[in-house]
Structure 1
Amino acid sequence: MSTTTDIKGQPLDRAFLDGLLRRRLFYTPSFEIYNGVSGLYDYGPPGCALQANIIDLWRKHFILEEDMLEVDCTVLTPHEVLKTSGHVDKFADWMCKDPKNGDILRADHFVEDVLETRLRGDKEARGEKIEEKEESDAKKKKKKTKGQEAIKLDDEVVKEYESILAQIDNYNGEQLGELIKKYDLRNPATGVQPTPPVAFNLMFQTSIGPSSNLPGYLRPETAQGQFLNFHKLLEFNTGQMPFASASIGKSYRNEISPRAGLLRVREFLMAEIEHFVDPEGHKKHHRFGEVEDIELVLLDRETQLSGQTTLRKIAIGKAVKDGLVDNETLGYFLARIHLFLKKLGIDQSKVRFRQHMANEMAHYATDCWDAELLTSTGWVECVGCADRSAYDLSVHAKKTGAPLVVRERLETPKVIEELQVEIEKKKFGPAFKKDARAIETALLDTTQEQREKLAKELEENGKVILDVAGVADGKAEVGKDLLKIEFRKRTENVREYTPNVIEPSFGIGRILYSLIEHVYWSRASDGGDEARSVLSFPPAVAPTKVLVVPLSAKEEFRPLVRQVLQKLRAAGISSRVDDSSASIGKRYARNDELGTPFGITVDFQTIKDGSVTLRDRDSTRQVRADMDKIVSAIQTLVSDSKTWQDVESELPKFETQELEIR
């Protein structure tokens, strides 16, 4: 039930902002003239440019800064790969169905929406103030809801609802079904209780090749391609550990009930990192000292399980030391994620890192934290940072026999005394015939603990009875004439181990939309025209950096405009010209809505001395100088080496057209 505001502290009108984004073609529903398909969107020119700039910043911040190895793997993935990884069996959400109208509902979202609506009704019944956005949502819900007028709830019920909402991500399907029954939760559209939740696999299934004999899926993440190429990447990295791979590309999830525009879609751009680390090194990171004093806002699992959402700000060094964050490498990437979001322009008062609870943890994870951003729809997971342990490499190596391990030569050879299995080969084969290989494999795969028990059994009974899949009765009896289990010494010159993996995973579309909300505001808050919306993107990610505005359409202005554009292109600065008949103020206002941070005006003074004005989007203040100095100033602003205040202190102010431009 959180209410969000724009930069100036005014309530954020999401419907108005969405209208602006579609009108300015940041994005648009796919196949709209065919009535569209929910969860699919196309990006227009400013949306494409914004996304490209976010990716460019991501590459510089992570791939270049951390010397990562970038790969681009195929989207089509054979069934066997995702069966082995666990996605075929476990990559699912819980859904339920309205028996009256057939609506398909995502169970956790359904529970969340109905309880939040009831809490709004309680707040209204108590006469408490409801913020503008919250009140608007409540009215919309009220129109659809049958028998859920503003009713005061018991204090205990309010506490129960708040506790459920605090840990909504931790409930499994059975528990969600129990909540639906216990609190008589009904679909607002029909007033009917939905059916019990069932698991729905989120992957898009397809077949590969004309014969359709090879089943496959559109990948739900970019990670598997990185794991399968691990051995080649290790060789490319000359066998050096630790190292990280990275991949940027489309992934696909067949969402049950896409909603909230770009925040929940079926096709989306991901940027994922797989950092491979030696588990014996306690997952330490050699650059952790650079970030240990950075403070993060954390919501840990224990707080959520207690039914609370209390946040605490803590230095990442202390969080790792106290065991709140599992290890240094995980903590290092949480801090680096924080710095990346800050560099993008994300409002730091609307960022938190939430730890996953047991039931919501992915099947491969041992610990996971989400970077969540506060938007008009509430807190949204935009980055996941998981410790995947050795799960993926282990299961793929076991399935394929591929050497997805690290072999490290030891400086000092290690002498190891251990129980070893010795099989009498000449007698073993004839004794077990076609089952010999399976029984031998089962014996060799035993652990030291299992071998201790087998050695004792062999000594006491003269034989061992072993569980072996695929043989008659699933059991095999091996006598002491065929088998020895004895302590022996061996010298190990090479250490072999399966790396653990720390995985930061970024949903670029969610970050993009959250950023738009965080930088949006209206000139109305400064006493201007209410229709003059502004997107205050940092110059580095703004779709277009400079708007060039000729004051007149006269022929003599055209060579000067071309000259400005050539200088901007040579400097690598994106720009566009607006030479329409609208007033200069309206032309700038249109581009404030596109987030263009700077404007160059070519006027009659330019014809005389070659000077131009440079306008700052947010303050609307201007300076004037010759073209080269202005272009140089823009370069420093875009690279973030100088601020607008620095430029104002260095170049002459220009105020003649201030009122007209505002």
Structure 2
Amino acid sequence: MAPEMTTLKGKAFDRASLESLMRRRMFYTPSFDIYGGVSGLYDYGPPGSALTNNIIDVWRKHFVLRENMLEVDCTMLTPHDVLKTSGHVDKFADWMCKDPKTGEIFRADHLVEEVLEARIKGDKEARGEKVEVEEEDPKKKKKKVKNIAVVKLDDAVRDEYKEVLNKIDNYNGEELGRLMKEYDIRNPANNSELTPPVAFNLMFQTSIGPSSNLPGYLRPETAQGQFLNFAKLLEFNQQQMPFASASIGKSFRNEISPRQGLLRVREFLMAEIEHFVDPSGGKKHPYFDEVKDVELELLNRDVQLSGKADVDTTTIGKAVETGLVDNETLGYFLARIQLFLLKIGVDPKKIRFRQHMANEMAHYAADCWDAELLTSYGWIECVGCADRSAYDLSVHMKKTGAPLVVREPRKEPLKIEEWQCDLDKKKFGPKFKKDGKTVEAAIESLSQDIREKLSLDLQKDGKITIDVPGVGDGKVEVPKELITIEKRTRVENVREYTPNVIEPSFGIGRIFYALCEHSYWTREQDEARGVLSFPPTVAPTKVLIVPLSSHGDFKPFVRKLTNKLQDAGVSNRVDDSGASIGKRYSRNDELGTPLGITIDFQSVKDNTFTLRDRDSTEQVRGSLDEIVAAISSLVEGREKWADISKRLPKFEGQEEGVGPS
């Protein structure tokens, strides 16, 4: 159940106002709008594109540059066999149910969540319960009202609903179907009963090539391209472990019922990291000490399974030490994820890390946590961070035979005593003929314990019997003339292992939307116009240049400022319209522009300018070089406005206002 959202000013959050602003100012717009649009598809306008690019720029600096990651850009088209091997063809699905009367499709877990939350909030029509209805009286040819009392929820039922909501991510299809029956969950629009949940694969299927004989999919994640290039990346990295690859690009999921704006879409931007680590070292991280004191809000799986949502505030060092978080490398990235989110302006009070429960987590995963951000839609998963063990490299290696392993010289040779099987190939082939390779493969796969037992059988009976499915009756006898089983010492000078993978996966669009919600507020004196308090590092446009009027004396200064800022790599725009300065600044506050430069008649006289801070509306004055230096420092995150206002003299402007608390 979503807690009540508040703005930076402490008022109740108005989602409709924010979304109206974002569409009106073209942060985003429905794709194919003039054709009626397609649900789950959106285009980003100039400010939306700039904000996205700036988030990605900070992401690259924070992760790729800081960690010396190897960035790759892989194709979005993926052959069927790759995603069959990875498990996506068989398992990448959500549970959907259908209204047989209207054909409307619902995602089952979201419907259960939506209806129970609505009941708790007292929305009668969404309860699926009987409410006031109007029906036509055929004799009198007019509508009459039939009043039926609505049973209100008692505390026990409300608590039961909350417990279900806290465990919603742990239910499978059968369990969701049981909940729908138990709580009489129907189509909220018409109260129709729905079909039981069935699995729906989320991938977009296509075919590659003109003959359409190579089936494929639009990728559901960027990870597989990184796994398939592992051997080449290891060679590029001069065989050094550990290392990380990174990829930024579009992924595609055919969402069942996208109904939450930018949060649930069918085409989205991902930024993913695959950190390859030696599992034998306990998955330690060399820089873990740098982040061990970072405090996180952790919601562990045991608390969720008890039907609660209480978080534990603890340092990542303690969480790893107690085993709550599985290992140092996973913990290191959880801390770094939080530091990134704070850097781009996410509200620190609206971040938590939720541990995956049993039904959510893949069978091969050692541990998995989601960074969730609180929005008006509730807690939304924006970053997943999973320990995927060695699964991905192992399955692709088994399928293709490609050596997706690390080979490194041992400091000391390793002596291994083992039972070895030797075959007389000249006699073995004629004996088993077409089944020879199958029988040989079965012998090679025998465990050491079984080989030891068979060596005794060979001495005693002069033959061994092994299981070979598909050959004869499944049992095959091999006489001693064809096989020798002896215990020998083997010396290994090279260690070979399959790395484990820690994978942080970022949904950039979800982070984009949550950041907008966290940054949105209105001024007391102008509640009709919103403000987006993006940090200067990610704001779409950093500086608004405002000449006092269209007077010709101001034009050379506009050009001079524009050139100076562009040379410093600072995005800016000029507003020389006839509107008042206050109105010009106000409409750019809606775009999140953090800084403004006013050119007035004093600028013409002494080459000084005023610099305005968006949130406080305070202004300082300085020379061209002082103003540009201050802007560069703010944009690069070296200083905050408080530092600038101490260094440069304040200027009493025409505006008054108070920024966010």
Tell me if the contact between 1:86 and 1:363 (Cα under 8 Å) persists in the aligned partners: no
Q: Partners in 1 of 2:71 and 2:507 — Cα distance?
A: 17
Can you list the C-alpha shifts for 1:616-646, whole angstroms capped at 9, x where unaligned?
0000000111111100111111111111111
Can you list the C-alpha shifts for 1:513-562, whole angstroms capped at 9, x where unaligned?
000000111002xxx11112100000000000000001111222111100
- Tell me which moved more, 450-459 or 376-385: 450-459
Cα distance change of structure 1 residues 481 and 311 upon mapping to structure 2, 3 Å threshold: same
Cα distance change of structure 1 residues 473 and 30 upon mapping to structure 2, 3 Å threshold: farther
- Which residue is 2:253 aligned to? 253
Note the C-alpha offset of 1:94. Answer: 0.4
Note the C-alpha offset of 1:579. Answer: 0.8
- Which residue is 1:634 aligned to? 631
Can you list the C-alpha shifts for 1:73-94, whole angstroms capped at 9, x where unaligned?
0000000000001100000000
Tell me if the contact between 1:100 and 1:190 (Cα under 8 Å) persists in the aligned partners: no
Cα distance change of structure 1 residues 456 and 156 upon mapping to structure 2, 3 Å threshold: farther
Q: Partners in 1 of 2:366 and 2:247 — Cα distance?
A: 22
What is the one-letter code of the residue matched to 2:442?
A
Tell me if the contact between 1:390 and 1:498 (Cα under 8 Å) persists in the aligned partners: yes
Secondary structure of the residue aligned to 2:90 is helix
Cα distance change of structure 1 residues 324 and 643 upon mapping to structure 2, 3 Å threshold: same
Note the C-alpha offset of 1:451. Answer: 2.8
What is the TM-score when the length of structure 2 is the normalising length?
Answer: 0.95
Tell me if the contact between 1:292 and 1:315 (Cα under 8 Å) persists in the aligned partners: yes
Aligned length: 642
After TM superposition, list the pairs within 5 Å mapping 1:579-598 onto structure 2: 579-598=576-595
Note the C-alpha offset of 1:151. Answer: 3.4
State yes or no: 1:606 paired with 2:573: no
- Which residue is 1:374 aligned to? 374
After TM superposition, list the pairs within 5 Å mapping 1:7-26 onto structure 2: 7-26=8-27
Tell me if the contact between 1:417 and 1:490 (Cα under 8 Å) persists in the aligned partners: yes
Q: Partners in 2 of 1:656 and 1:161 — Cα distance?
A: 54
Can you list the C-alpha shifts for 1:39-60, whole angstroms capped at 9, x where unaligned?
0000000000000000000000
Q: Partners in 1 of 2:430 and 2:657 — Cα distance?
A: 99
Of 567, 570, 575, the match for 2:567: 570
- Which residue is 2:106 aligned to? 105
- Which residue is 2:320 aligned to? 320
After TM superposition, list the pairs within 5 Å mapping 1:299-310 onto structure 2: 299-310=299-310
What is the TM-score when the length of structure 1 is the normalising length?
Answer: 0.94
Cα distance change of structure 1 residues 5 and 66 upon mapping to structure 2, 3 Å threshold: same
State yes or no: 1:183 paired with 2:183: yes
Cα distance change of structure 1 residues 354 and 459 upon mapping to structure 2, 3 Å threshold: farther
- Which residue is 1:644 aligned to? 641
Structure 2 unaligned regions, length at least 5: 133-148
Q: Partners in 2 of 1:411 and 1:403 — Cα distance?
A: 22
Note the C-alpha offset of 1:66. Answer: 0.4
State yes or no: 1:621 paired with 2:618: yes
- Which residue is 1:490 aligned to? 490
- Which residue is 2:85 aligned to? 84
Tell me if the contact between 2:582 and 2:655 (Cα under 8 Å) persists in the aligned partners: no
Note the C-alpha offset of 1:139. Answer: 7.5
What is the one-letter code of the residue matched to 1:502?
I
Secondary structure of the residue aligned to 1:547 is strand
- Tell me which moved more, 406-415 or 180-189: 180-189
Note the C-alpha offset of 1:117. Answer: 1.5
- Which residue is 1:331 aligned to? 331
Can you list the C-alpha shifts for 1:415-440, whole angstroms capped at 9, x where unaligned?
11112122122211111111111211
Q: Partners in 2 of 1:558 and 1:308 — Cα distance?
A: 62
Cα distance change of structure 1 residues 550 and 140 upon mapping to structure 2, 3 Å threshold: farther
Note the C-alpha offset of 1:102. Answer: 1.2
Q: Partners in 2 of 1:449 and 1:629 — Cα distance?
A: 78
Note the C-alpha offset of 1:163. Answer: 1.3
State yes or no: 1:37 paired with 2:38: yes
Measured on the aligned residues, the alpha-carbon RMSD in Å equals 1.7
- Which residue is 1:47 aligned to? 48
Q: Partners in 2 of 1:353 and 1:160 — Cα distance?
A: 24
- Which residue is 2:160 aligned to? 160
What is the one-letter code of the residue matched to 1:5?
T
Tell me if the contact between 1:301 and 1:355 (Cα under 8 Å) persists in the aligned partners: yes
Tell me if the contact between 1:365 and 1:389 (Cα under 8 Å) persists in the aligned partners: yes
After TM superposition, list the pairs within 5 Å mapping 1:217-616 onto structure 2: 217-459=217-459, 461-524=461-524, 528-616=525-613
Cα distance change of structure 1 residues 492 and 627 upon mapping to structure 2, 3 Å threshold: same
Tell me if the contact between 2:72 and 2:246 (Cα under 8 Å) persists in the aligned partners: yes
State yes or no: 1:64 paired with 2:65: yes
Cα distance change of structure 1 residues 181 and 576 upon mapping to structure 2, 3 Å threshold: same
Write 1 or 2 for the structure with the bigger share of helix: 1
Structure 1 unaligned regions, length at least 5: 122-137
- Which residue is 1:126 aligned to? none
- Which residue is 2:96 aligned to? 95
Q: Partners in 2 of 1:452 and 1:512 — Cα distance?
A: 61
Secondary structure of the residue aligned to 1:296 is strand
Can you list the C-alpha shifts for 1:138-183, whole angstroms capped at 9, x where unaligned?
47847x9754986322433222211111110000001111111112
